[in-house]
Chains A and B, each alone.
Chain A
Amino acid sequence: MRALKFMRKQSQRKRNRVLITGNEAIGEAAIKAGCYFYAGYPITPQNELTAYMAKKMHEENRVFIQAESELAAVNMVFGASAAGMRAMTSSSSPGISLKQEGISYLAGCQLPAVIVNVMRGGPGLGNIGPSQSDYFQATKGGGHGDYRLIVLAPSSVQESFDLTFLAFDLADKYRNPVMILSDAFLGQMAESAVIKSQERSIKNLKVKKDWILSGAKKRKPNIIRSLLLEEGALEKHNVLLQRKYKEIEKKEVRYEEINTEDAEIIFVAYGISFRIAKEAAHLLPMNVGIFRPITLWPFPYDALRRISNKRKVFVFELSAGQMLEDVCLSVGDRDKVFFYGRTGGEIFNEKELANFVLSKL
């Protein structure tokens, strides 16, 4: 609900409606959010974003680097963030796997950063079709150690813009990496979207951070580290991290619900699957409520538990059933939850979903 309020507030601002792809909307949002540093490596289907950043960052006199690998890109972002700048990297599934090492270090060192995953089919090299099969990787860890990413899942080009803008603020607020979980479909399709005129000024962002590396002038040296060898030190650090995650779970849960009060059955879907599920609901003779997690972590467990109350729940994902596990945790009763998914870069259509629902009633 928070995201919706956020979007509404934004739309009241000066309107600037354009036709733009999801990938480019993410890039434009980063520019507007004051992203000073971007590093990326080519991979389909996110190349439009890298190209957009190459052009725009240069125009804005900021830093764009085409890195030698995804590993280097995420570690450059680590450095830029340590230096106090808003920084972003993007990739698609196989490249995000490579970035996991750096993401774990970002989390361990409490460095803010935005990481964009425009998901494609896997596992392995997979294919370049749309997929949602990196849900586990994004929400349950991905890299080593006890850490969490804030994971935001846009379902439109507009939201690709809005949530990316939000991602930079959340990253700074919690000193934590934030992931935008998009997919090949959302990234490549163009929709009209309002690009807000509001901008975060790079200069003002710098002063708020007292932990950054900028030279130890008139202060004690700052050290960015996650290595804590003394007995008990790492556990103490991890307890602090967990406390932060608890706070995020309390304050940052975002979701959208449509028609859930009078509904006979509930659909749960995020991202591009939500768009298709919404169409499928129109084809069905009964009242269908739709629940869409916007933050995949923190997952809206409580809201979904409340809404699902004794009703059948249908989960639609472009995966073999990953968010499904969180839905089952929310609902509690596995027998009430039905799953339909496609994998390997294939996508379902609304008729397919409607027929599945009818077969289960």
Chain B
Amino acid sequence: MKIKFKRPRALRDIPTHYCPGCGHGIIHRLVAEIVEELNIRERTIGIAPVGCAVLAYDYWDFDCSEAAHGRVLAVATGIKRCRPDCVVFTYQGDGDLAAIGTAETIHAANRAENLTCIFVNNAVYGMTGGQMAPTTVVGQKTTTTPSGRDPHRGEGYPLRIIEMLALLKGVVYADRVCVASPSDVVSAKKAIKQAFVNQIEGKGFSIVEVLSQCPTIWRMLPENAVKWVKEEMVKFYPLGRIK
């Protein structure tokens, strides 16, 4: 009997702390599958952010580091420059990458660091209970925008950071995907794999933004959360390759 589907070697056989319907579990698995398919588990180094994915290193079965909030790409830079033969990737949320770590993000990209950046955008700060993120969409209610994000009240606009990054010469690949349906997951895997392959081929900075559902904080049933990604979130964050 041939085994068609199994847990990838790079994913540990333990339950995660993620809420039901959360996108992180899917994205973690995609990373693990890609690491296995590219046969790079023994030279992969992942860097977990501060945020919901802070414990990502408990779920992957390869070398990992933590990083201070927002400093993930600085830590990754230090590791990759010292271990150019390793495949180094960051896994970051929207608060980490696009608010507190904006400087680190822009400058790692601008230095054309040969890194893979997986940017999980769920439009809120999940771990801290649902505050406004830089990517919170206009009108979206959070604990710090109780009547909905209003740019005219000084709460800013949703930040399309990968469009900004795509302007930089150091960025070779910028793509936006989601994990709201099986076919979306297939596209997401393709994009993330490309970002890994780019690094292995020494091409420079690759970033994949993954729109991810957060039913708990969004106060939605999981099925409504994936619908919200496809119907509302994509209005601000159109899917597809930018660069």
**A→B interface (CB under 8 Å):** 36-37, 39, 63, 65, 67-69, 71-73, 75-85, 87, 101-102, 105, 109, 213-218, 221-227, 229
Expressed in whole angstroms, the minimum distance between the Cβ of B14 and any Cβ of chain A is 13
With A and B bound together, what is the CA distance between A75 and B79 in angstroms? Answer: 10
Q: Does B43 lie within 8 Å of A82, measured CB to CB?
A: no
Q: Which one of A67, A79, A225 contacts B57 once the chains associate, using CB atoms below 8 Å? A: A225
The CA-CA distance from A96 to B81 in the complex, in Å, is 23
Asked whether B74 lies within 8 Å of A76 as measured between CB atoms, the reply is yes
Contact at B78–A81, with CB atoms within 8 Å?
yes
A101 to B101, alpha carbons, bound, how many Å? Answer: 14
Q: How many chain B residues touch the partner (CB < 8 A)?
A: 36
Which residues of chain A are within 8 angstroms of B77 by Cβ–Cβ distance? 65, 72, 76, 79
What are 19 A-B interface contacts by the 8 Å CB criterion?
A: A75-B71, A75-B74, A75-B75, A78-B67, A78-B75, A82-B79, A87-B82, A102-B68, A102-B71, A109-B66, A213-B83, A214-B83, A215-B43, A215-B63, A216-B63, A217-B43, A225-B64, A226-B66, A227-B66
Q: Is B208 close to A, CB under 8 A?
A: no
B185 CB, nearest partner CB in chain A, Å: 25
- B81–A80 CB distance below 8 A: yes
B62 on the interface (CB 8 Å rule)?
A: yes
> Which residues in B have some Cβ–Cβ distance to A below 8 Å?
41-45, 47, 54-55, 57, 60-68, 71, 74-83, 85-86, 103-104, 106-107, 111
Selected contact of A37 from candidates B44, B60, B62, B78, CB within 8 Å: B78
Taking the closest CB of chain B, its distance from the CB of A112, in whole angstroms, is 13
Chain A residues positioned under 8 Å from B71 (CB to CB): 71-72, 75, 78, 101-102
Given A71-B71, A72-B71, A72-B104 in contact, is the A223-B63 Cβ separation under 8 Å?
yes
- Asked if A225 and B62 make an inter-chain contact with CB atoms under 8 angstroms apart, the answer reads no
CA distance A176 to B68 in the complex (A): 17
Known: A36-B82, A75-B104. A214 touches B74 (CB 8 A): no
**A215 pairs with B62, CB closer than 8 A:** yes
18 more A-B contacts (CB under 8 A) besides A226-B66, A227-B54? A67-B107, A68-B103, A71-B103, A72-B77, A73-B74, A75-B78, A78-B71, A78-B78, A79-B77, A79-B80, A87-B82, A213-B63, A213-B79, A213-B83, A215-B63, A216-B62, A216-B63, A221-B62
Tell whether, in the assembled complex, residue B78 and residue A82 are in contact, meaning their CB atoms are under 8 Å apart: yes
Cα distance, A101 to B74, chains bound together (Å): 13
